[in-house]
Amino acid sequence: MTTPLGKGILLVAAPALHDPNFRQAVVLLCEHGPEGALGVIVNRPTAMSISEALPQVPILEGQPHVLYSGGPVQTNQVMMLYRINDTPENSHQVIEGVCLGGDLEIMERILMEQPGKESFRAYLGYSGWGPGQLESEMQNGSWITLPADPSIVFDKDPSRIWPEIFVTLSEPSRHYADMPFDPSSN
């Protein structure tokens, strides 16, 4: 049984999906509707730090936070996912406690507080689909859908997200859990 398409689900690339943009990708779907869909790939860290992408933000200097590749669309734009206790009014809630936005004040607050449950991830670019495009890919068997879980996005080792999801799936899919993460897909 699959989770219906909608905001706040994970799109897990099927093993047969060989598009280099999405091979072994796990995408958090942040928006879905008649106009199309938008999400970020949660398991593709880059070699860049967030301070390299946002040099104009002094608090980031020397921070070890890695920049993730969110997808092939607008790869010059940084998008932020926040796991926060109180979702601000001007943010776009994706799932309970997780919002999408570019509010650098939230990031600064998280960085200045003691480490806790609040965190963020920065993504260069995003994944986008035009009207009906994602539905067509679903019919072709390109994606498996699951309910989103903030721990997958913020706590898991990105190189293990895709294979570990297959451990939780049906028996025929379990052998993919032993597949090495393909770094050439980054």
**For residue 174, pLDDT beyond 50:** no
For the chain, the residue count is 186
pLDDT tens profile 3-27: 889 999 999 999 989 899 999 999 9
Q: Which residue has the tokens 């943009």?
A: 21
User: Residue ranges per domain, the chain?
Assistant: 9-185
Assigned architecture for domain 9-185:
3-Layer(aba) Sandwich (3.40)
Mean pLDDT of the region 142-159 = 93
Q: What's the chain's average pLDDT?
A: 86
Q: CA 182, CA 13: separation in Å to the nearest integer?
A: 13
The pTM of the full predicted model, rounded to 2 decimals, is 0.87
Mean pLDDT of the region 116-123 = 86
**For residue 173, pLDDT beyond 50:** no
| Alpha carbon separation from 78 to 60, 89, 113, 124 (Å, rounded) | 14, 20, 22, 5
